């Protein structure tokens, strides 16, 4: 089981020095991947119809994941760079294909692209595609298909409801198949992942819920004739559950067959970057003790 960290960007307030320092610290502590959450626009929640259901507001800073990973590719050596999750349907697919290909090339094949559909319709409006919000799941499916065509084929002819590419392609292309994982909270997301994804990232779910939904995805993988053994599952653990609970969380997820696990220190009343680094060091020590066990 591979261990990662979530970059606590909402609490480090856009500190650009912290991005490098935290990623390098995580790498030196033996973490195998770093996750960045994604929002292009923050929004004021009051007086919205429909209401905004998610937790983040205009006051929460987010670095753009692919831009940040292009930077981290040059200041780290081996840690995997994981979007968790990139809100794919609000982006132009060909541009994401190009950006992701470059990040993967710059990093020596270290990008894991985890994608989701998001909840913030204000972002879709701000990014000039409001009409796609209500059908963002289907758009995401079309996008994943096109991403793989663009990464693998020198000359692409592709048309669906969302795209039209006639005898065109990207260059340079990645030197490997960039893994595409999905994230989300609904059965359609789980079904889509089982049909076309390489893995699933559970975020905002309890340990019990993640294990329950993992079993559902495995059932769907079997129905689609896809091997469970080659499909990845990641759970994100809350640092603020405390050292008495960490071993149980790690053991439970490992015994459930999880391939990846990450710790998030946001929401733990940690004020400084050094506090977050100390926190991931403490969690990593427990993780190593449990795994070597």
CATH number at residue 193: 3.20.20.30
Q: Mean pLDDT across the chain, nearest whole number? A: 96
Q: What is the 8-class DSSP label of residue 81?
A: E
At 40, phi and psi to the nearest 5?
-80, -45
- Domain span at residue 31 reads 2-292
Is residue 130 predicted with pLDDT exceeding 90?
A: yes
Of all residues in the chain, what percent carry a pLDDT higher than 90?
Answer: 96
The strand ranges marked E within the chain are 2-6, 33-36, 80-83, 86-87, 111-116, 156-159, 164-168, 180-183, 199-202, 232-238, 260-264
Query: What pLDDT band is residue 207 in, cutting at 50, 70 and 90?
Result: confident
Report how far apart, in Å, the C-alpha atoms of 274 and of each of 12, 63, 74, 89, 270 are: 10, 19, 22, 35, 9
Number of structural domains in the chain: 1
What are the tens digits of pLDDT across the range 12-64? 989 999 999 999 999 999 999 999 999 999 999 999 999 998 999 999 999 99
Beta-carbon count within 10 A of 260 CB:
24
Query: What pLDDT band is residue 138 in, cutting at 50, 70 and 90?
Result: very high
At 5, phi and psi to the nearest 5?
-130, 150
Taking a C-beta distance cutoff of 8 angstroms, is the pair 276, 270 a contact? Answer: yes
Alpha-carbon span 246 to 290, nearest angstrom: 9
Residue 56: the pLDDT is 94
Query: What pLDDT band is residue 6 in, cutting at 50, 70 and 90?
Result: very high
Query: What pLDDT band is residue 206 in, cutting at 50, 70 and 90?
Result: confident
What are the tens digits of pLDDT across the range 152-175? 999 999 999 999 999 999 999 999
Alpha-carbon span 82 to 69, nearest angstrom: 9
Is residue 293 predicted with pLDDT exceeding 90?
A: no
Taking a C-beta distance cutoff of 8 angstroms, is the pair 156, 150 a contact? Answer: yes
Helix (H), strand (E) at residue 195:
helix 187-196
Is residue 180 predicted with pLDDT exceeding 80?
A: yes
Query: What pLDDT band is residue 99 in, cutting at 50, 70 and 90?
Result: very high
């Amino acid at each position: 089981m591979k261990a990662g960290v979530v970059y606590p960007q909402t609490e480090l307030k856009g500190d650009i020095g912290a991005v490098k320092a935290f990623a390098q610290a995580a790498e030196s502590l033996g973490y195998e991947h770093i996750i960045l959450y994604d929002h292009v626009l923050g929004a004021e929640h009051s007086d919205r119809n429909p209401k905004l259901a998610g937790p983040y507001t205009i006051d929460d800073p987010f670095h753009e994941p692919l831009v940040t990973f292009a930077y981290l590719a040059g200041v780290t050596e081996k840690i995997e760079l994981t979007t968790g999750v990139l809100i794919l349907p609000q982006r132009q697919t060909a541009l994401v294909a190009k950006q992701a290909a470059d990040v993967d090339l710059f990093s020596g094949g270290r990008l894991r692209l985890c994608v989701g559909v998001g909840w913030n319709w204000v972002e879709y409006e701000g990014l000039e595609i409001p009409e796609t919000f209500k059908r963002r799941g289907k758009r995401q499916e079309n996008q994943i298909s096109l991403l793989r065509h663009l990464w693998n084929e020198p000359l692409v002819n592709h048309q669906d409801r969302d795209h039209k590419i006639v005898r065109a392609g990207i260059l340079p292309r990645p030197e490997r198949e960039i893994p595409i994982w999905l994230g989300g909270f609904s059965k359609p997301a789980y079904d889509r992942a089982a049909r076309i994804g390489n893995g699933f990232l559970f975020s905002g779910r309890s340990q019990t819920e993640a294990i329950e939904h993992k079993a559902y995805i495995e059932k769907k993988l079997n129905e689609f004739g896809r091997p469970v053994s080659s499909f990845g599952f990641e759970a994100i653990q809350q640092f603020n559950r405390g050292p008495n609970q960490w071993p149980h969380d790690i053991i439970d997820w490992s015994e459930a067959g999880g391939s990846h696990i990450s710790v998030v220190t946001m929401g733990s009343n940690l004020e400084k970057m050094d506090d977050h680094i100390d926190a991931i060091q403490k969690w990593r020590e427990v993780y190593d003790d449990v795994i070597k066990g």
